[in-house]
């Protein structure tokens, strides 16, 4: 209760929420309100908006990907990172829609005036608004990459980047956007941490940051997360995605059953021979090419255990890929592997290095 009380007081001070008028308290949609810890040690208020989200129209949109970020970086580039403070709170909610964003605490009803965390439309709408806000800067030639509240600004020279930094901060101030000065890295550098990756424009190598690796577990244990054991090295080259996706599939647990990744250590060691966890761009070119074709079937030659026959076909197709790579590891070791499967869901999961389901 003390934490919730303090957080609500903070939201009132930021004008993110308002007290619902007494005559309107009986109407509207009330949701469960709770707090979750943030990476920086703070707390983030969350509205349990799952019932509302199910009723909202789904809007598809594409956020910037790791591959696109790496494609924008050129050898010798200088970089800075900007982190927006209370990002969603910059987007106002129409007054007649605020009744759907209500919660109650200690007998008082509140409603959000801005986008709360947990609203399904928030990432899409916020990204669209920020793209519009950044459009004038991009049209002037500034390289700005935005992933929600994390922005990366790139320039070929330090002097140009310093000029772009001043223009960007002035532009944000005019728009009323607040910058988190503690989390931002505003001094030009050629090696920077962005979205959990360390990007180095001198060596053109990207790797997971130490913090991201620590979040995944011990570096000596292969049973850590898929990020740290399957894709701990991202190359600044156009074709890195296939390698990382294949490695992630090999080291990922069964899609419908819990399997320790420790037993897949030989596969991991074979696919990641570089002990530093960073792969040089040209090492990918020297590797050979191997095509692995898979298909899953319940009848005939599709031999599955009894419990596996109840899996969704997408899980079976992904399991077929995993088993093929494991069993034919001596043939695909140190090769550029192309997976051929007739399941579009598996293709999407491999190419995108995972999914949300």
Rg of the Cα atoms in the chain: 24
* Residue 95 shares a structural domain with residue 129: no
* Residue 347 shares a structural domain with residue 215: yes
* Paired tokens of 324: 């093929």
- Domain for residue 117, yes or no? no
- Domain for residue 342, yes or no? yes
Which structural domain, as residue segments, surrounds residue 51? Answer: 2-58+89-112
* Residue 215 shares a structural domain with residue 154: no
- Domain for residue 285, yes or no? yes
* pLDDT for position 215: 66
* Residue 175 shares a structural domain with residue 102: no
* Residue 295 shares a structural domain with residue 233: yes
* Residue 215 shares a structural domain with residue 346: yes
* Residue 100 shares a structural domain with residue 184: no
**Number of domain units in the chain:** 3
- Domain for residue 280, yes or no? yes
* Residue 137 shares a structural domain with residue 207: no
Q: What's the CATH number where 23 sits?
A: 3.10.10.10
Please answer whether residues 20 and 109 qualify as being in contact, where contact means their C-beta atoms are separated by less than 8 angstroms.
yes
Which residues does 124 contact at the CB level (< 8 Å), separation at least 6? 59, 61
Please answer whether residues 184 and 81 qualify as being in contact, where contact means their C-beta atoms are separated by less than 8 angstroms.
yes
Q: What pTM was computed for the model?
A: 0.61
* Residue 231 shares a structural domain with residue 324: yes
* pLDDT for position 20: 93
State the Cα–Cα distance between residues 254 and 265, nearest whole angstrom: 15
* Residue 344 shares a structural domain with residue 215: yes
* pLDDT for position 300: 63
- Domain for residue 309, yes or no? yes
Dihedral sign, CA of 112, 115, 118, 121? positive
* pLDDT for position 214: 72
- Domain for residue 356, yes or no? no
Which residues does 88 contact at the CB level (< 8 Å), separation at least 6? 114, 115, 116, 117, 119, 122, 126
- Domain for residue 104, yes or no? yes
* pLDDT for position 78: 97
* pLDDT for position 357: 65
Q: What's the CATH number where 141 sits?
A: 3.30.70.270
* Per-residue pLDDT of the chain in tens (357 residues, 90 and over written 9): 788 888 889 899 999 999 999 889 888 999 988 888 877 677 777 889 999 999 988 887 788 888 888 889 999 999 999 999 988 999 999 999 999 999 998 889 999 999 998 899 999 999 999 999 999 999 999 999 999 999 999 999 999 999 999 999 999 999 999 999 999 999 999 999 999 889 999 988 888 888 777 765 333 332 222 222 333 333 333 333 333 444 444 444 444 444 444 444 444 444 443 333 443 333 333 446 788 888 888 776 667 888 888 888 999 999 999 988 888 888 888 778 888 998 999 998 888 777 766
- 124, 171, 255, 338, 349 from 357: Cα distances, Å: 19, 38, 10, 24, 10
């Amino acid at each position: 209760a003390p934490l919730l009380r303090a957080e609500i007081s903070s939201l009132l001070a930021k004008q993110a929420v308002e007290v619902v008028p007494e005559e309107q308290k009986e109407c509207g949609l009330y949701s469960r309100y709770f707090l979750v810890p943030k990476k920086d040690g703070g707390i983030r208020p969350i509205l349990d908006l799952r019932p509302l989200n199910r009723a909202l129209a789904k809007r598809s949109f594409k956020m910037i990907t790791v591959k696109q970020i790496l494609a924008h970086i050129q050898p010798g580039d200088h970089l800075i990172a900007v982190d927006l403070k209370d990002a969603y709170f910059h987007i106002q909610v129409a007054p007649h829609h605020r009744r759907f964003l209500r919660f109650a605490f200690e007998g008082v009803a509140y409603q959000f005036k801005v986008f709360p965390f947990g609203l399904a439309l928030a990432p899409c709408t916020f990204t669209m608004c920020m793209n519009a806000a950044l459009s004038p800067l991009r049209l002037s030639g500034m390289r700005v990459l935005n992933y929600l509240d994390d922005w990366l600004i790139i320039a070929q020279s330090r002097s140009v980047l310093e000029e772009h930094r001043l223009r960007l901060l002035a532009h944000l101030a005019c728009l009323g956007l607040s910058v988190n000065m503690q989390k931002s890295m505003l001094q030009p550098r050629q090696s920077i941490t962005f979205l959990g990756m360390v990007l180095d424009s001198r060596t053109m190598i990207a790797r997971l940051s130490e913090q991201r690796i620590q979040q995944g577990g011990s570096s000596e244990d292969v049973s850590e997360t898929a990020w740290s054991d399957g894709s701990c090295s991202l190359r600044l080259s156009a074709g890195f995605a296939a390698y990382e996706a294949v490695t992630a599939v090999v080291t990922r647990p069964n899609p419908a059953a819990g399997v320790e990744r420790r037993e897949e250590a030989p596969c991991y060691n074979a696919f990641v021979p570089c002990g530093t966890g960073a792969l040089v761009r040209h090492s990918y070119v020297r590797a050979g090419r191997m095509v692995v074709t898979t298909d899953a079937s319940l009848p005939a030659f599709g031999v599955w255990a009894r419990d596996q026959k109840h899996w969704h076909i997408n899980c079976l197709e992904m399991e077929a890929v995993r088993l093929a790579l494991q069993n034919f590891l001596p043939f695909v070791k140190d090769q550029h592997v192309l997976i051929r499967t007739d399941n579009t869901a598996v293709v999407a999961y491999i190419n995108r290095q995972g999914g949300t389901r």
